[in-house]
Chain A
Amino acid sequence: MSNSIRPVHLDEPAWVRRLLLVVSLGFLALFLLLPLAVVFSEALKKGWELYAQALVEPDALAAIRLTLLVAAIAVPLNLALGVAAAWAITKFQFRGKQALVTLIDLPFSVSPVVAGLIYVLLFGSHGWLGPLLKAYDLKVVYAVPGVVLATLFVTFPFVARELIPLMQAQGSEEEQAALTLGASGWQMFRRVTLPNIKWGLLYGVILCNARAMGEFGAVSVVSGHVRGLTNTIPLHVEILYNEYAYQASFAVASVLALLALVTLVLKSVVEWRGGRQLKDQALPSEFPGAAPLQLKVAG
């Protein structure tokens, strides 16, 4: 069969096209839509009343409060790190830059369980600083500070990953022009740099926040699972599930699923609004180990 006389010679045969569509959409439906649907179906299995009850129960409310608190600490701190790291890495030349980029990426390639473990080894009662903390009657592990630290670790690279390739591509001519025209360092940052990177910044914050609120493995190791005190929403889901309170567990899980959907919508909006600014991004920030500086050579 010769394709060359057909005007659509750059297309696959119709049956291949149809097969690919069915296979890929079927795969996505099976692995993405079904799990999402089952969360809401199980959550509402016994009606809205029990659904609402599971959410306003004191332990659930405490978990929601803790999750919000952890995100409120972790996101701004990692935002500050992201901006500082991206500034140092993209605007200056120094020895060991590539190593620094790799180290910033490191938390992405560490298992969440290991991320939790290292804080237990550091701050636990048998850890390095355990005796010291005990002397001052401070508790880090199996308490809220441990949960915050573990979350800081796993969400560490998100904003930096987003900003480094972006600022690398933008160069520093605009900042230099601002300084030449007499702007102070802070004026230059606020009026030139910030508007240039705002979409990338927002994108990183959205992803960082989603991970901060949803982290399970690392937090699970350091939290100690004290109900009403050190349980975040994902840990509350686990406890309810292990107690065979399936409906309540899925009800709380559905809140996280909604959060994930909101994250996806916000992400799409940012991608759409900031399209031009973000176009230079080669990879979304979740990718561990992807070295943004190397990627940019291709541009």
Chain B
Amino acid sequence: MKASISTLGILHPPLARPGRARRFGVLPGFGLSMGFTVFYLSLIVLIPLSTLFFKSATLDWETFWTAVTAPRVLASYRLTFGAALLAALVNLVAGLAVAWTLVRYEFPGKKIVDALVDLPFALPTAVAGIALTALYASNGWMGRWLEPLGIKVAYTPLGVVVALIFIGLPFVVRTVQPVLEDAERELEEAAASLGASRLQTFLKVLLPTILPALLTGFALAFARAVGEYGSVVFIAGNMPMVSEITPLLIITKLEQYDYAGAASIALVMLLLSFVLLLFINLLQWWQARRGLGKNL
């Protein structure tokens, strides 16, 4: 059954077949709003983005392939995707802990902590970048303690991971939090009354409920981290082959007037983010179906 009617009014199923329930003429403004949206979308997003395809197409296949698989470029993919994956994994675990703490426990200053979780969204990335670098440099508040232990963070790939953890931090928390809030305590009650331990209840009752949200948050944090530039360039050290991220490499190519090379690498990144977008949409569809199943 499709959730086409709710108490709020008419809720259309996401991909309702056009032709059925066609509602032109009921409300005014379709032409104006649609026209403006399509015009503005084409002007600001679609036409500019299409330049990537056309610029890359000026290269023949071989040159294109060499441009996007040069050793320095491959090293940057490894760093960008590796660090993004690592950071997203840290955020997966820590984000779940934070969401759990915010939903289930009471402690003084909880409202402030809750609001602060969004800081990485609000703080300009350049500010985050220089702040993290100052923290983890050898004379910084953190670096001072870590360096004698042999842990170098600033100007190493580890610094990239730290910056990406900062950037991705809110994603898992904010996707898991509402699902955890809606989770029915009765189910846990039932599990406990049937003799399940708290850990069993968590693993077998709660975790399956929040899993789609958890994975969505993970994928969102990963997708954001892959494209991140501002917070990373300051702390990374930007050494070719070692700590140079792909977005920076695009800028380097641009500064060398290698427009086609820059466009080719950018195109690869764009296609990869399309794949991620598709994956995220699938996860959300899964989550939505779960929610629907629960309501029926």
Contact = CB atoms under 8 A, between A and B. Distances in A.
Interface of A: 3-4, 9-13, 16-17, 20-21, 23-25, 27-28, 31-36, 38-39, 42, 77, 80-81, 83-85, 87-88, 91-95, 97-98, 100, 102-107, 109-114, 117-122, 124, 126-128, 149, 152-153, 156, 168-173, 175-176, 179, 185, 188-189, 207, 210, 213-217, 220-221, 233-235, 237-238, 241, 246, 249-250, 253, 256-257, 259-261, 263-265, 267-268, 282-284, 286-291, 293-299
Nearest to B174: A284
B277 A289 contact: yes
A213 to B, nearest CB: 7
B44 interface: yes
A120 B254 contact: yes
B277 to A, nearest CB: 4
19 contacts: A27-B98, A81-B37, A85-B33, A88-B30, A88-B33, A93-B12, A104-B37, A113-B251, A118-B48, A120-B259, A220-B230, A234-B125, A241-B234, A260-B123, A264-B118, A268-B111, A288-B277, A289-B280, A290-B220
Interface string B1-44: 01100101111111110100111101111101110110011001
B44 A93 contact: no
Given A17-B105, A103-B41, A27 B94 contact: yes
Given A264-B118, A296-B11, A13 B105 contact: no
For the complex of A and B, the 3 pairs showing the least CB-CB separation, nearest first, are: A171-B9, A111-B227, A214-B124
B131 A38 contact: yes
B203 to A, nearest CB: 13
A264 B44 contact: no
B94 A249 contact: no
Contacts, number: 362
Given A92-B24, A253-B131, A121 B52 contact: yes
Contacts of B30: 88, 91-92
A28 B125 contact: no
A298 B127 contact: no
Q: Is the interface of B mostly helix, strand, loop or mixed?
A: helix
B55 A121 contact: yes
Interface string B95-129: 00110111001010001010111111111111110
B16 A93 contact: yes
B66 interface: no
Contacts of B251: 113, 220-221
A84 B281 contact: no
Interface in B195-250: 195, 197-198, 216, 220, 223-224, 226-230, 234, 247-248, 250
Nearest to A77: B40
Contacts of A13: 198
B295 A298 contact: yes
B154 interface: no
Q: Which of B48, B122, B228, B290 has the most CB of A within 10 A?
A: B122
A161 to B, nearest CB: 13
B284 A294 contact: yes
Contacts of B117: 28, 32
Nearest to B294: A298
A172 B27 contact: yes
B291 A298 contact: yes
Contacts of A170: 8-9
Contacts of B116: 28, 32-33, 264
A21 B216 CA distance: 24
Given A168-B11, A298-B288, 20 more contacts: A20-B100, A23-B94, A32-B119, A35-B132, A35-B135, A39-B127, A88-B30, A98-B15, A111-B266, A121-B263, A149-B48, A172-B27, A188-B28, A216-B125, A216-B230, A217-B125, A234-B230, A288-B220, A290-B280, A293-B14
